[in-house]
Amino acid sequence: MTAEGGDAGRTAGRTAGRTADAENPPVRRLSAWDADGLVALAEEYGTPLYVMDRDRVRQNCARLREAFPDAEVRYAVKAHTGRAVLEAVRESGLAAECASAGEVERALAAGYEGAEIQYTAVNPPARDLDHVVDRWRDHPELTVTVGAADTVDRLRERGFDGRLCIRANPGVGAGHHEKVRTGANAKFGVPYDEVADLAESVAGEFELVGLHAHAGSGISGEDLSNHRELVERMGNLAREVESRVGPLEFVDVGGGFGVPYREEEPPLDLESVADATREALGDVSGTLAVEPGRYVVADAGVLLARVNTVKQAADATVVGVDAGMTTLLRPAMYDAYHEIRNISSDDNDEAISATVAGPICESADVLCENRSLANPRRGAYLAVGNAGAYGYEMASTYNSRPRPAEVALDGGKARLVRRRETLTDLTELEQ
């Protein structure tokens, strides 16, 4: 992955970005999806069903590359590791940021080269390090990012002396929920004040290529000051490290670019984020790197569910559907808001106040509460928006619910890319 260099690349990118706006809007709302097309998919493949539009994934990648023409853009694959998505992202020119041996494996299987893969070890199990070091022998350009001096020792024990990056704990967190802020959480990264010493001590033995930090997820317009502060701190750190050990290849300031989950929320102004990032980083030898996950896939995916049971309660109509917290965990885990639309409704259906609940025996198993929805009747299909990021990835089989199927769209044409799990699959591992 080479970064397009300098001001010329940047200007060209800007111009292209502006002219492409009409075909590549900054956000794709749930209301923009074709309801009849989604109903047809639900009928053909059954529900719950994830639908991933690979064309939208490509558009999101293109907008990122236009906003950051002189940076390396790395897709944080944990947002959606499906093969069809990874291939589309790779073909769109984004590198891969992997958080586990499994993600490294999936990136390689999707055609990524070692040079395009960064493995960021978070408290890595021995099995993960064994595996990644093993893969590194065949792919010596792979980069390993460590978040503790201890992990350096564990890599050394395994004979690793390749491309190393140090993750700093910048002491600045950002994000839409406490559970997604990582920047000031001691679990992540080497304490800021110890990074330069560690860098100096490992530089002779490993190929020290970069510094890394990640503030958290869901950076919005309001949270940009946190992002700016993190980048500034990383710029200062990079200058310190570069003065002591020589030029770095990159300074990776993480991901966390937010998407508007609510219909009325404005999209993130990517150009402003890019400008603020470059300005805050200041003068460093290393190339800027960013690691968006959610931004690449969130609005490329919807979840389709079917209404099973409608029940009139005192203060709301409880609409029971066949998707729940095991299909899409975000509402239960983060109190996350997802737009929901009745795609079976015609214009005559009046809006009611609905609580959409899943089939799991947990009170947290609701997709929304007291939401205005066009009257959903039994058998109607609902679409849940912005489900492409951390949707299928966080699905589980709790309550012995098989995980959903997934289709990918290319030019509007659907193909099944992940079959629905079966009841037999659920017991497959038992001996």
Ligand X SMILES: *Cc1c(COP(=O)(O)O)cnc(C)c1O
Active site residue ranges: 361
Residues facing residue 306 across a β-bridge: 381
Give the nearer residue to ligand X in terms of CB position, either 119 or 381. Answer: 119
What is the identity of the amino acid at 299? D
**Binding segment (CB under 6 A) for ligand X, from list 20-28, 57-65, 108-116, 288-296:** 288-296
- Look at strands 413-418 and 405-410 and give their pairing: antiparallel
Q: 362 among the known binding-site residues?
A: yes
Q: According to CB under 6 A, which residues from 371 to 410 bind ligand X?
A: none
Helices (H), 246-365: 270-281, 294-297, 330-334
Give the nearer residue to ligand X in terms of CB position, either 265 or 421. Answer: 265
Give the nearer residue to ligand X in terms of CB position, either 359 or 388. Answer: 388
Report yes or no: 280 and 39 within 8 Å, Cβ to Cβ. Answer: no
Report yes or no: 141 and 184 within 8 Å, Cβ to Cβ. Answer: no
Q: How far is the CB of 386 from ligand X (least distance, A)?
A: 12
Residues with Cβ within 8 Å of residue 150, at least 6 apart in sequence: none
Q: What are phi and psi of 303, to 5 degrees?
A: -110, 130
Name the token pair of 244.
Answer: 């002591």
Contact with ligand X (CB under 6 A): which of 49, 61, 71, 76? Answer: 76
Q: 256 among the known binding-site residues?
A: yes
The reply on whether position 78 binds ligand X by CB under 6 A is: yes
**Binding segment (CB under 6 A) for ligand X, from list 31-39, 128-136, 249-257, 271-279:** 249-257
Indicate the SS3 state at residue 209: strand
Report yes or no: 289 and 253 within 8 Å, Cβ to Cβ. Answer: yes
- The closest alpha carbon to 417, from 158, 83, 28, belongs to 83
Q: 295 among the known binding-site residues?
A: no
User: How far is the C-alpha of 406 from the C-alpha of 420, rounded, in Å?
Assistant: 7
Q: How far is the CB of 185 from ligand X (least distance, A)?
A: 11
User: How far is the C-alpha of 151 from the C-alpha of 391, rounded, in Å?
Assistant: 30
Q: How far is the CB of 266 from ligand X (least distance, A)?
A: 18
Which residue lies nearest ligand X, judged by its C-beta? Answer: 293
Site pattern 185..214 for ligand X (x: CB under 6 A)? -----------------------------x
Q: 294 among the known binding-site residues?
A: yes
Give the nearer residue to ligand X in terms of CB position, either 217 or 220. Answer: 217
CA atoms within 13 A on the CB side of 66: 22
Q: 């940009």: which residue's tokens?
A: 224
Indicate the SS3 state at residue 316: coil
What is the identity of the amino acid at 55? D
The number of residues that bind ligand X (CB under 6 A) is 17
The reply on whether position 341 binds ligand X by CB under 6 A is: no
Contact with ligand X (CB under 6 A): which of 235, 255, 320, 376? Answer: 255
Q: How far is the CB of 205 from ligand X (least distance, A)?
A: 24
Q: How far is the CB of 81 from ligand X (least distance, A)?
A: 12
Q: How far is the CB of 412 from ligand X (least distance, A)?
A: 26
Q: 390 among the known binding-site residues?
A: yes
The reply on whether position 79 binds ligand X by CB under 6 A is: yes
Phi-psi region of 174 (alpha: psi -120 to 50; beta: other; left: phi over 0): beta
Give the nearer residue to ligand X in terms of CB position, either 128 or 365. Answer: 128
Q: 50 among the known binding-site residues?
A: no
Name the token pair of 295.
Answer: 């931004």
**Binding segment (CB under 6 A) for ligand X, from list 13-21, 63-71, 232-240, 248-256:** 248-256
Give the nearer residue to ligand X in terms of CB position, either 58 or 74. Answer: 74
Q: How far is the CB of 290 from ligand X (least distance, A)?
A: 9
DSSP state of 181: B
Q: How far is the CB of 188 from ligand X (least distance, A)?
A: 8
> Is the CA virtual torsion 330, 292, 265, 381 positive or negative?
negative
Burial (CB count <10 Å: 0-12, 13-18, 19+), residue 395: buried
Residues with Cβ within 8 Å of residue 40, at least 6 apart in sequence: none
Crossing angle of helices 101-109 and 126-138, in 10° steps, is: 30
Give the nearer residue to ligand X in terms of CB position, either 292 or 359. Answer: 292
The reply on whether position 223 binds ligand X by CB under 6 A is: no
Contact with ligand X (CB under 6 A): which of 114, 147, 189, 293? Answer: 293
Q: 293 among the known binding-site residues?
A: yes
- The closest alpha carbon to 260, from 224, 316, 221, belongs to 221
Give the nearer residue to ligand X in terms of CB position, either 214 or 306. Answer: 214
Which residues lie near ligand X (CB under 6 A)?
76, 78-79, 97, 99, 120, 214, 217, 254-257, 291-295
Residue positions forming the annotated binding site for substrate: 294, 330, 334, 362, 390
Which residue ranges make up the annotated binding site? 256, 291-294, 330, 334, 362, 390
